[in-house]
């Protein structure tokens, strides 16, 4: 976990991720209003990203620039943000060409309007993005039954989607242990 208790500072964790070009998955508990984004570097390997917001406000322009760094992102969760709106969902869907799972639980300004937009977008562009927000979040378990929400101190296997994606930051396993002999 990379954070300080001076909330006026800038979060440099995404710059740290730039130094890990093979990183495929990240689960971040963001405790900053601002993030540092180096737009000159694209991170082609990142497939899975979960960001839980500690503060309800964020700088949308910074976050939009950040999302362009991850063109191959398939699974995105943005949780617990009172500032995230339908229009932000619409923009992210168009920015991320490989997105297939988009989770925005805990974002009360994201409504059925965004879900309708994603559904229409899928039809118009031949995509199949599964979109979950507070009103339909119960469907994620039936659509993705292999993803776990169960708290375990030790999880078997290095499968981020299975062991981490649906969990809150505080509920992540302490250890991921190889299930190979």
Domains and CATH numbers, the chain: 10-177 (3.80.10)
pLDDT, tens only, 76-132: 999 999 889 999 999 999 999 999 999 999 999 999 999 999 999 999 999 999 999
Taking each helix axis as running N to C, give the angle between helix 86-95 and helix 112-125, from 0 to 180 degrees, rounded to the nearest 10.
20
Mean model confidence pLDDT for the chain: 85
- Tell me the mean pLDDT in the region 28-45: 87
Give how far the C-alpha of residue 92 lies from the chain's centroid of Cα atoms, to the nearest Å: 11
Provide the pLDDT for residue 31. 81
pLDDT of 157? 64
Greater model confidence, 93 or 145: 93
Exposed, middle or buried: residue 94 (CB in 10 Å: 0-12, 13-18, 19+)? exposed
- Residue written as tokens 């405790």? 31
Structure tokens at 68: 């362009």
Contact (Cβ atoms closer than 8 angstroms) between residue 48 and residue 165: yes
| H-only helix segments in the chain | 13-18, 60-67, 86-95, 112-125, 139-143, 160-163
* Whole-structure pTM value: 0.87
The rounded distance, in Å, linking the Cα atoms of 113 and 160 is 30
């Amino acid at each position: 976990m990379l954070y300080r208790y001076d909330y006026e500072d800038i979060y440099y964790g995404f710059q740290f991720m730039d130094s890990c070009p093979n990183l495929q998955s990240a689960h971040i508990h963001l405790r900053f209003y601002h993030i540092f984004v180096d737009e000159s570097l694209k991170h082609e390997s990142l497939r899975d990203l979960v960001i839980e917001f500690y503060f309800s406000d964020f700088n949308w322009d910074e976050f939009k620039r950040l999302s362009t760094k991850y063109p191959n992102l398939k699974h995105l969760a943005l949780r617990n943000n009172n500032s995230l709106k339908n229009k932000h969902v619409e923009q992210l869907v168009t920015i991320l060409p490989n997105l297939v799972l988009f989770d925005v639980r805990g974002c009360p300004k994201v409504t059925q309007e965004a879900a309708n937009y994603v559904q229409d977008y899928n039809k118009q562009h031949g995509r199949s993005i599964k979109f979950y927000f507070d009103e339909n979040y119960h469907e994620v378990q039936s659509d993705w039954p292999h993803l776990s929400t169960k708290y375990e101190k030790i999880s078997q296997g290095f499968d981020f989607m299975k062991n981490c994606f649906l969990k809150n930051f505080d509920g992540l396993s302490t250890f991921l242990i190889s299930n190979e002999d």
